[in-house]
Amino acid sequence: MQGSANLNLMIKAARKAGRSLVKDFREVENLQVSSKGPGDFVSKADREAERIIKEELLGARPTYGWLGEETGGQDGADPTRRWIVDPLDGTTNFLHGLPHWSVSIALEHKGEIVSAVVFDPAKDEMFVAEKGAGAWLNDTRRIRVSGRSKMIESIFATGVPFGGVGPLPATLQDLARLMPVCAGVRRFGSAALDLAYVAAGRYEGYWERSLNAWDIAAGLLIVKEAGGMVAPVREGDEILEKGSLIAANSDMFDPLVKIIRNQD
């Protein structure tokens, strides 16, 4: 894939942060960890990865705005462009030694995501997309959503909220309706990778509630550029603002929306 200068910059930043994260992952039991809330952890690894990415991106594009999980938001001199970054999506997996976590970087232009990177350093898988240019894995393989068209043959992914609060009751109701009619539901703990896996045809669909913009901004574009469809859980909501979404291939999209929105 011949990416833009911005996309190449994002890939470089993701790889640099990924190297730092892999080093910390090998010594995860020694990391300093604090809690932001029930089931919500932050470590030295998160903060260092965001520092690396921010230094790379704003060093090259100092006029762009910024929204990062660990450092929050800041306006740039160019109000039309903003980086949206999750330096470590899947922190709980990371801290438990589970090799399923990612770096997520998106570029927003005039309110629309135009470039996206989701990098899985543990598996060395780099999912990228640019608006109008398709979605790619590791620079050489163009990816597409799956062609499965039967619900009973389809696998879906979601996130189950921790701590028994927030959207947990709704998610359990979703599972009760969906699990009897599909081939299975997976909960792996990284929203960015869940979306990338939909784009790569590994899942037929994914849904989740109450996420943050940095969790899903990059993955949304990758799904759309791979031929998938996305919608808010509640019709009329803005996905990045509300953080609740449904994503699927074209055949499973309407059936999944119907189940998650509980439409008879």
Rounded mean pLDDT of 222-234?
98
pLDDT class of 264 with cuts at 50, 70, 90: very low
Q: pTM score, two decimals?
A: 0.94
How many CA within 13 A on the CB side of residue 181? 13
Nearest residue to 53 (alpha-carbon basis) of 115, 111, 11, 4: 11
Average pLDDT along the chain: 94
- List, as residue ranges, the binding site: 69, 86, 88-89, 215
- List, as residue ranges, the binding site for Mg(2+): 69, 86, 88-89, 215
The DSSP annotation for 27-62 comes to TGGG--EEEEETTEEEEHHHHHHHHHHHHHHHHH-T
The yes/no answer on whether domain 151-261 falls in CATH 3.40.50.300 is no
User: Distance of alpha carbon 197 from its chain centroid, rounded?
Assistant: 10
The tens digit of pLDDT for each residue in 73-122 reads: 999 999 999 999 999 999 999 999 999 999 999 999 999 999 999 999 99
pLDDT class of 242 with cuts at 50, 70, 90: very high
Give me the residue spans of the domains in the chain.
5-142, 151-261
Q: Would you state the pLDDT for residue 44?
A: 87
CA distances in angstroms from 174 to 31, 37, 211, listed in the order given: 36, 25, 17
**Can you tell me the distance from the alpha carbon of 143 to that of 215, in angstroms, rounded to the nearest whole number?**
21
Q: Which residues lie closer than 8 Å to 7 by C-beta, 6 or more apart?
A: 107, 115, 117, 128, 130
Rounded mean pLDDT of 127-137?
98
CATH pick for 5-142 out of 1.10.10.10, 3.30.540.10, 3.30.2130.10, 3.40.50.10860: 3.30.540.10
- Measured distance between the N- and C-terminal CA atoms of the chain, rounded to whole angstroms: 43
The tens digit of pLDDT for each residue in 23-65 reads: 999 988 877 777 765 555 667 899 999 999 999 999 999 999 9
